[in-house]
Amino acid sequence: MIAVRPGIRGPLAALALLVMLPLLSACGFNTIPTNEERAKAAWSEVLNQYQRRADLIPNLVETVKGYASHEREVLEGVVEARAKATQVQLPPDALTNPEAFKAFQEGQAGLTGALSRLLAVVENYPDLKANQNFLALQAQLEGTENRIAVARRDYIEAVRVYNTSLRTFPTMLWAQFWFTDAKPFQTFTIAEENMNAPKVDFGQGG
């Protein structure tokens, strides 16, 4: 057995690391953490867009109230749905916690439904549909709904790629022996994915 003097162990270790790094990279060693970070970034964008929508709602409700104050039940429904959606506390493990993710998803779905009912009511108020403040809010809400749809789509795809890397060869080996804390992320259900977004494309003559 050849003894290695302590003085040269450091250089040998460094040389071994230099040799191994390309091999590790070629075998997909970085795939799991890279895909995980992409999925987390996509999730952050989902949250940003949902928050953007929530921020628009108070002004939207106040504007509609000015023309349709007697639509009390519909207006209160939107306010309550917004409160429920924004009060959902997301724990640090939300992406790997089915219950927490489901609560978030249901809260946002409830708000989507309440907004749809509110915007349907607007069809009965031509003066409101022509109001400049409402038109501006309408445009912002429409843009936000589009961004939500894109953010959700990107998140779903990022999660698909990440979760697949945990179950397929050779990256699954890294998950089993190195990235042992890596867990599949939750994603939006098909049922909610197929829900109609609030219709905000009003015609002034309709």
Percent above pLDDT 70 for the chain? 78
Separation CA 193–CA 103 (nearest Å): 15
Q: By CB neighbour count within 10 A (0-12 exposed, 13-18 middle, 19+ buried), where does 103 fall?
A: middle
Query: Under DSSP, is residue 187 helix (H, G, I), strand (E, B) or coil?
Result: coil
Q: Is residue 52 part of a domain?
A: yes
Q: Is residue 160 part of a domain?
A: yes
State mean pLDDT over 12-32. Answer: 57
The domain of 69 spans 31-193
Helices (H), the chain: 6-26, 31-67, 72-87, 98-122, 126-129, 132-167, 171-177, 190-193
144 vs 7, residue with greater confidence: 144
Q: Is residue 21 part of a domain?
A: no
State mean pLDDT over 86-92. Answer: 92
**How many domains are there within the chain?**
1
Q: Is residue 93 part of a domain?
A: yes
CATH number, domain containing residue 134: 1.20.1440.20
pLDDT tens for each residue of 181-194: 899 999 998 555 44
Q: Is residue 198 part of a domain?
A: no
Question: What tokens were used for 131?
Answer: 């109001």
pTM of the model: 0.79
Do residues 131 and 124 lie in contact, with contact meaning Cβ atoms separated by under 8 Å? no
Q: Is residue 13 part of a domain?
A: no
65 vs 15, residue with greater confidence: 65
Q: How sure is the predictor about 170, in pLDDT bands with cuts at 50, 70 and 90?
A: confident
Q: Is residue 70 part of a domain?
A: yes
Q: Is residue 182 part of a domain?
A: yes
